[in-house]
Structure 1
Amino acid sequence: MLKLCVAACLVVAGVSIPTDPTVTQVPDYFQTSYGPFAGVTKAGGAPFLAQTNPIYSQPTYVANTPLVTTLPISGEPHDGNIFDWMGTLTPYQPSPDGFGVDEYPLPPGANITQIHMVHRHGSRYPTSNSAISGWAKKIIQYRSNGTVFSGELDFLNDWNYQLGQAELTARGRQELFDSGILHWFNYGKLYDSASKIIARTTTMVRMLQSAENFLNGFFGPNWTDNATLQVIIESTGFNNSLAGNDMCPNAKNTSGSDAVDEWTALYLQKATNRFRNEISGSLNWTVDDTYNAQSMCPYETVALGYSPFCALFSWEEWQGFQYVNDLNLYGNYGMGSPVGRAIGLGFVEELIARLQGQIPNPPEDSIGFNKSLDDSAATFPLNQTIYFDFSHDNEMFSMLTALGLTQFGEYLSPTKPSADRSLIGSHIVPFSATFVFEIIKAPGPVRENRSKHCGESVYENTSEETTYIHLVINQRTVPLGQSISACRQRDDGWCEISAFIQAQKENIVKANYEESCFGNWSIPAYGEIRDGAIPKNATS
């Protein structure tokens, strides 16, 4: 028992400890920091499952699911779930189908020596620029003026808007905490307990919450003993590689929204007509109203656990919703955008610098990062074995564009979705998405076609140490050779680090950063841009 003595001291086990008389003491029964009665503890060894797993299989990451996501949906196949088709509003799931390459364990003698992770924030409430809250006010206003809903829209007669704004929901906090635990199991052994790492996030509330919940899951509640969180200003005009759109004045000069509008008018035409027949009053229900109603489903589900809006739409209409998100990513942040590469360029420049162990030094007309922060070892360390960065869905997709991953850059028609397209937003940047770049050192060159040499050594007949990079998106391998020819068409999707670095140096030039972000050019029509950058000399 602690008791306050007259001379402004604490008596603990008979020993007087001087205290600051100006500081109010927390009673012992409210004290939660470790004290003299905490008991004896000892930390166990750090896991390294990504390396010790005898078969290549990322641990299953399925968060405890209190959400109601099994509603009966018209036309839904037996093995389908609409919550796999909510684009960037999809609650986290490992990529269900992979990215077209087999998964392989580490060969004997090979070691993961470093990881670079970019993590999206978790499930959140709508942002301040979302149309959702305004639409809700509109519905309530028309209802007060006599509009009555019937049929499947009957619930709107009593419905109220309950969503917050921009911060993480409980589900979002859980996603990041669970992700921290998952990646501790995979890579905990890489952490050097003798030094603290610097992790990076931005000043947005949901970004801070995401980083803190992840680090709590990875290190535990005393994570500040292991990591220092660098919080970079996220606002228009500030240089921030984790929010590259804010430092690119032309970031909004894209035409992806034209394709989005064209497709939305097509896929929601039937639903719009269906709902108009269930409304009496002065409300003129439009396609935009239908889209906002559909968007309420994922937002309410991750916030409240259930949404009556989900069952309003058919399986086909949910597939259409997914494609809206895909068109947005492709046309505004991907290979169909004149600034797609530029927005993600800063991260690529930083990744190459870290891989080479040097301060970033791109051409003067291609600096896509905060030079003040990245010129200092105190804020841009080069000796970490683990790097954690936290960013947003659109910016992360632009990072893939800047990396030259053309497998996600096929042209998307605004009127006819391709069933076998590679760009499926819910597979790439759902809530809490992760991009992990593993650096692997092998005692010799690993065979490109492992499947053809089953039962034989996975190594070529030479003992020259070889370093590879392995990209894992949402727990599944991305075959780098599918986009980067120098990486070659390997069974395992890896790429020799020297070939990868050289390819990225070329991609820095392809971004045409200065002209893309600061040039005076006319906005190209949707479909004119196919390589993620404004063409050279496009400035008028």
Structure 2
Amino acid sequence: MSPLTASLLAVLAGTSTLATAYTPNRPGSQTRYPFAKPYSQDFLEGYSVLKHVGGQGPYANRDSYGIGRDPPAGCAVDQLIMVKRHAERWPGSGPAGSFAVTLGKIYGTKKTRFTDELEFLNRWQYFVPDPNYIEMETINGPYAGLLDGYKHGVEYGARYGHLWDATATNATIPMFSSGYERVLMTARKFGEGFFGWNYTDVVAMNIVPEQSYMGANSLTPSCLVDNDTATCGNLTNYHPQFDIAVARLNALVPGLQLNHTDVYNLMQMAAFELNVRGYSDWIDVFSLDEWVAFGYTQDLHYYYCSGPGDKNMRAVGSVYANASLALLNDGPKKTGKLFLNFCHDTNITPILAALGISVPEEDLPLDHIPFPNAYNTGNIVPMGAHLTIERLACNATPVAPEGTYVRLILNEAVVPFTGCQDGPGFSCSLANYTSLVSASLPDFISTCGYNSSYPQHLSFWWDYNTTKAYDYETQPYIPSREKQLTYQGTAAKL
């Protein structure tokens, strides 16, 4: 037997004959044992409830294809076009009303002490402290919406700060927000994070009204008449998995008569509670299968109501896609380097449909949950979702000539453009990107029923105002109150 073979056998037998050779002599260094795996080979499901709360819960990065987030070697970003959904918020009045109905059923049983999975209800209080918080950005907890906006601004300031000159005088950079309070709040916090606490010295906030009279000159375009509502209008929030939860919960409380709609309400409520508190005891009340089913109800809604499952949505998304093409081809010297935009989830899904991002080959089935699911809303439009378009100036590389390229980044995952990865880092040459996108886009004006009296294209990126009037809120964020609502609807002192 050779000495090497003997040493290997000794190691496998648990002796330290060879191990001592792997022990560094440097003080404080960590011992590296032979055959230890520096990278785990265990890749399990990677389950996170954040991937199954749809557009209701906290932000999560998109599943990555493994392409580096930094610019490819030899490339630099010379123009940035971003559209971001408002960050985490409290529920709207509609869901909040549904939550009250279901909670009323639970507490209407007059049960004085809850047990088992519902034991936490003996201490739990409803998480919306005042009706004035409805629809607004959340302000506390690890998933606070205002914190999301600020942190995202800080991160992008570090990544793209080279696109503005902090020492330049009289250099105004416009930012664009749709006309909804929570969207504007996110935009302001992002601006503060990106440009610094005195960001108003740099930024001019432009508010783009969310009204149909804006036509195509809008961050929130829509069809005057939607002629494809059959599927969207008949979607239900039912899945068989909810029946199991109904039976389980009703068995815990005598006289309780929850149905599948109540289960849906409680799960939706749990998602919003994460936005406010950062945790929710309701999460563990439901099983993984039930959360997957809840997530799929969200996927169906976005797909058929504001995504590629509605035949008009590609035309709606073409407004932004076409205008961004013009910016990319004009280049930073002619039009500017930074275009930061803020709107809603249902304004981003049409853009993705127009660009062919996360578009399934077949429509989502209504009678079962597909695996894999190509339209997972947790990957597409969670709270704070964003689509980033990078214009890259690249030197010649072994895989591509010197030139201008485009990369698409959805929720911090690089998404190669369908049918075009001819540039460094799986980017697409601007010429090919322009050709492919422009050839595939339907016409918004004719598709959505606008006549010549409406604006025919997006122009505010070129024709913006430089006022500082909307950079900061001048009214109190929330009226002062001396009470909060418990789960029973009674008032309690703060």
TM-score, reference length from structure 2? 0.72
User: Taking every aligned residue pair, what percent have the same amino acid on both sides?
Assistant: 25
State the 1:117 CA deviation.
0.7
Match for residue 148 of structure 2? 175
8 Å Cα contact 1:104-1:492 kept in structure 2? no
Paired with 1:257 and 1:188, the residues of 2 have a C-alpha distance of 44
Any idea what the Cα deviations from partners look like across 1:355-375, whole Å, max 9, x if unmatched? 2339xxxxxxxxxxxxxxxxx
Paired with 2:149 and 2:109, the residues of 1 have a C-alpha distance of 43
Residue type of the alignment partner of 1:415: D
8 Å Cα contact 2:105-2:258 kept in structure 1? no
Residue type of the alignment partner of 1:118: V
State the 1:189 CA deviation.
0.5
Q: Are 1:266 and 2:203 an aligned pair?
A: no
- Choose which of 74, 84, 96 in structure 2 pairs with 1:119: 84
Match for residue 143 of structure 1? 107
Q: How many residues align?
A: 394
8 Å Cα contact 1:199-1:227 kept in structure 2? yes
Match for residue 428 of structure 2? 495
Q: Are 1:275 and 2:208 an aligned pair?
A: no
State the 1:220 CA deviation.
1.1
State the 1:488 CA deviation.
4.8
Q: Are 1:241 and 2:205 an aligned pair?
A: no
- Choose which of 60, 66, 70 in structure 2 pairs with 1:93: 60
Report SS of the residue matched to 2:281.
Answer: coil
Paired with 1:251 and 1:119, the residues of 2 have a C-alpha distance of 28
- Give the 3 Å change call, closer, same or farther, for CA 489–498 of structure 1 in structure 2: closer
Match for residue 479 of structure 1? 416
State the 1:335 CA deviation.
1.8
8 Å Cα contact 2:308-2:353 kept in structure 1? yes
State the 1:459 CA deviation.
4.2
Q: Are 1:356 and 2:333 an aligned pair?
A: no
Paired with 2:227 and 2:186, the residues of 1 have a C-alpha distance of 25
- Choose which of 330, 341, 347 in structure 1 pairs with 2:314: 341
Any idea what the Cα deviations from partners look like across 1:192-211, whole Å, max 9, x if unmatched? 44311111002211101100
8 Å Cα contact 2:210-2:218 kept in structure 1? no
- Give the 3 Å change call, closer, same or farther, for CA 313–398 of structure 1 in structure 2: same
State the 1:177 CA deviation.
0.5
**Structure of higher RCO (CA pairs closer than 8 Å, 6+ residues apart):** 2
- Choose which of 456, 466, 476 in structure 1 pairs with 2:403: 466
- Give the 3 Å change call, closer, same or farther, for CA 382–160 of structure 1 in structure 2: farther
Q: CA RMSD in A?
A: 3.0
Match for residue 166 of structure 1? 135
Match for residue 48 of structure 1? none
Report SS of the residue matched to 1:241.
Answer: coil
Residue type of the alignment partner of 2:325: I
- Give the 3 Å change call, closer, same or farther, for CA 320–148 of structure 1 in structure 2: farther
State the 1:157 CA deviation.
6.9
Paired with 1:288 and 1:266, the residues of 2 have a C-alpha distance of 12
5+ residue gaps, structure 2: 1-43, 452-494
Residue type of the alignment partner of 2:273: E
Q: Are 1:425 and 2:377 an aligned pair?
A: yes
- Choose which of 178, 181, 188 in structure 2 pairs with 1:205: 181
State the 1:416 CA deviation.
2.5
Any idea what the Cα deviations from partners look like across 1:5-43, whole Å, max 9, x if unmatched? xxxxxxxxxxxxxxxxxxxxxxxxxxxxxxxxxxxxxxx
5+ residue gaps, structure 1: 1-76, 359-380, 447-456, 520-540
8 Å Cα contact 2:406-2:427 kept in structure 1? yes
Paired with 1:124 and 1:104, the residues of 2 have a C-alpha distance of 28
Match for residue 6 of structure 2? none
- Give the 3 Å change call, closer, same or farther, for CA 175–507 of structure 1 in structure 2: same
- Give the 3 Å change call, closer, same or farther, for CA 280–149 of structure 1 in structure 2: farther
Match for residue 61 of structure 1? none
Paired with 1:107 and 1:202, the residues of 2 have a C-alpha distance of 33
Deviates most, 267-276 or 234-243? 234-243
- Give the 3 Å change call, closer, same or farther, for CA 345–275 of structure 1 in structure 2: same
- Give the 3 Å change call, closer, same or farther, for CA 492–260 of structure 1 in structure 2: farther
